[in-house]
Amino acid sequence: MTLRWPTSSAPALRRAAMIALAVVLLALLWEGYKLVFPEDGVHIGDSLVLPRSDDASMPHLKEIVSVFGQDEVSGSAGSSTVFSSVVSAVWYSLRLAAAGFAVGVAVGFLLAVAMQRARIVERALLPYVVLSQTVPLIALAPLVYGWSGNLTLFGADWQPWMSVSLISAYLAFFPVAIGALRGLESPPPVQTELLSCYAASWWQTLVRLRLPSSVPYLVPALKLAAAAAVIGAIVAEISTGLPGGIGRLIISYAQQATGDPAKVYAPIAGAAVMGLFAVGVVSLLDVGLRRYQTPEGVS
Amino acid sequence: MSVEPAATAAAAVNLAGVGKTFAARGRGSATEALTGVDLTIAPGEFVSLIGPSGCGKSTLLRIVADLVEPTVGEVLVNGKPARRARLDQDYGIAFQQSGLLEWRTVRGNVELPLGLHGADKRERRSRADELLALVGLEEFADHRPSQLSGGMQQRVAIARALARRPALLLKDEPFGALDEMTRERMQSELIRICAETSAAVLFVTHSIPEAVYLSNRVVVMSARPGRITDIVDVAIGERDEDVREADAFFGAITEVREALRGRRVA
């Protein structure tokens, strides 16, 4: 994933145009499919090979857009609109994801530093770090959710939302641990030897050499972690049933799909925007840390 | 310049019976990189190490720098054990790769060794500016290393090596990656800088003319096992550009070449 901050306004404009074009293409694809293919899908023999294109399966885009303006509970005056429900659910989930991201980044980074510090730690830990990602998230969620009410941490009871943030952190720490480890180990021998000739301590070498060298590896890793934290939060909300967030909203709107098929897509769109927003915010790091992005030409 | 090894304990470098064997890895057998090296470098003396690839000249320099520990023998730098000398930063070092930190300015790179050991900001800055003037790069102090040519990057590396006013400079093929013209200019500059700082130099090179032009003594080494086979005293007088075309210069080159082929008659 190479999301580079544009250096002048011309590439920025081109990028914005490309994104707009991608959205338009996606919309055309959606409506074009509805136009071309039969309502009950394409069958070979008895099996469905292309999905149905009727209005219940694939509502028109303008239906989906108009859903945002509807009342959440139709017919009841004073109920909030779908739009405001989605926004507040996104805001709620985003905060859980942010907490998970913060914990995940801290843990991943500390693991990377420990692994870089001692080869034996790397050999001991790295297989487990990789193994951790092969455990299906869905399997962990109920386990972690069961902690609430049964666990007290530093005098505070374990809250249900903490389980969601923890699962989000569990997804987010991995890219950071791997990326930071590669980054911390990226300085060439000539530079680490120079620092050792200067009698620099381990800490000085970390701060003056390894950390700055790790930036080109760390920033993409943080972007991946941001996306992973968002996905982790949503999946955890769905599988634990925690109310208030976008995950729960996806479930509850899906249950109303027969009556209002377009409504399902509103929280899904919200979740997509939420992921883009999270990655976008982390991408701002590119601006602040641009001088640590290594250009060519130094030997 | 005096070329006699000083009899005092304060020789810049004193190696006695130094040997290095790299342990066997996997199925390979142990490699004897160096054996029986005795060498003394006087204060202010310029000594080059020359020899074929694998003769252990870089290993020898790294032993003096305490980047590699010798298997046997004694290593004294400024009269101290090599580790003590490294921790006291008694030497400055430059490699073939400049190893400049890209996120620091040229000045910031020269300041790096000073900042690690408590020099205050003003002191660091004035010393860095002084050194950049010495290597003729004062105008480039605020540039990034990538904006500099390879020769200029090497000059920054030399300035950085001189930052702590070391009595000894260790140089591992610092001009190896430069073109011939730049290389000769850098050599003349190095001679001038050494005269101004009166530091002793241990210089590893592949180039016979370079070794002869720069050195008071050329230490000739051979491989398998790495050892010193000969030491050529170079007496060619003042190093100016004319020296490169003088008979004495070519005479010394021939002498080193013969020594490298093991045919020199002393």
B102 to chain A: nearest residue by CA?
A: A294
- Distance from the Cα of A246 to chain B's closest Cα (Å) equals 42
Q: Which residues in chain A are contacts of B100 at CB distance < 8 A?
A: 298
Contacts of A289 in chain B (CB under 8 A): none
Give the residues across from B228 on adjacent strands. B221
> Is there a contact between B103 and A204 if contact means CB atoms under 8 Å apart?
no
Contact B88 A194 (CB under 8 A): no
Per-residue pLDDT of chain B (266 residues; tens, 9 = 90+): 444 444 444 789 999 989 888 887 777 778 888 888 999 999 989 999 999 888 888 999 999 999 999 999 999 999 889 999 999 888 999 998 899 999 999 999 999 998 888 778 888 999 999 889 888 888 999 999 988 988 889 889 988 998 888 889 999 988 887 888 888 888 888 888 888 888 899 999 989 999 999 999 999 998 888 889 888 888 777 777 778 888 888 888 888 888 888 766 55
- The answer to whether B29 faces chain A, any CB pair under 8 Å, is no
Euclidean distance between CA atoms A204 and A191, whole angstroms: 13
pLDDT band at residue A294 using 50, 70 and 90 as cut-offs: low
pLDDT bin (cut points 50, 70, 90) of residue A4 is low
- Report d(CA A88, CA A82) in Å as an integer: 10
Q: What local confidence, expressed as pLDDT, does residue B180 receive?
A: 85
- Quick one: pLDDT band at residue A74, thresholds 50, 70, 90? low
Closest CA to B160 of B179, B145, B182: B145
Among B170, B85, B101, B156, smallest CA distance to A195 is for B101
Contact predicate A72/A79, CB 8 Å? yes
Strand B80-81 and strand B91-94: the pairing is unpaired
B93·A194 Cβ contact <8 A: yes
pLDDT on residue A93: 93
pLDDT: which is higher, A254 or A72: A254
Inter-chain touch A291–B67, beta carbons under 8 Å: no
Interface confidence, given as ipTM, is 0.85
Inter-residue contact B134 to B196 (CB < 8 Å): yes
In chain B, the residue whose alpha carbon lies closest to the alpha carbon of A202 is B116
Are B86 and A199 an interchain contact pair (Cβ–Cβ within 8 Å)? yes
Q: Does B99 sit within 8 Å of A191, measured CB to CB?
A: yes
Largest CA distance in chain A: 77
CATH T-level fold of A89-292: MetI-like fold (1.10.3720)
**Mean pLDDT along residues A101-115:** 95
Q: Is A290 on the interface with B (CB under 8 A)?
A: no
For the entire predicted model, the pTM comes to 0.81
* Nearest CA distance, B143 vs chain A (angstrom): 12
A175 preceded by a cis bond (ω within 30 of 0): no
How confident is the model over A158-195, as pLDDT tens digits?
888 888 899 999 999 999 999 999 999 999 999 999 99
CB-based contact, B156 to chain A, within 8 Å: no
Cα-based distances in Å from A253 to A238, A258, B185: 12, 10, 76
- Cβ atoms of A196 and B91 within 8 Å: the answer is no
Contacts of B87 in chain A (CB under 8 A): 199
All domains in chain B, ordered by first residue: 1-90+168-175+189-266 (3.40.50.300), 92-165 (no CATH)
Give the residue from A130, A120, A121, A82 showing the smallest Cα distance to A264. Answer: A82
Do B116 and A200 count as a contact with CB atoms less than 8 A apart? Answer: yes
CB contact under 8 A, B98 and A294: no
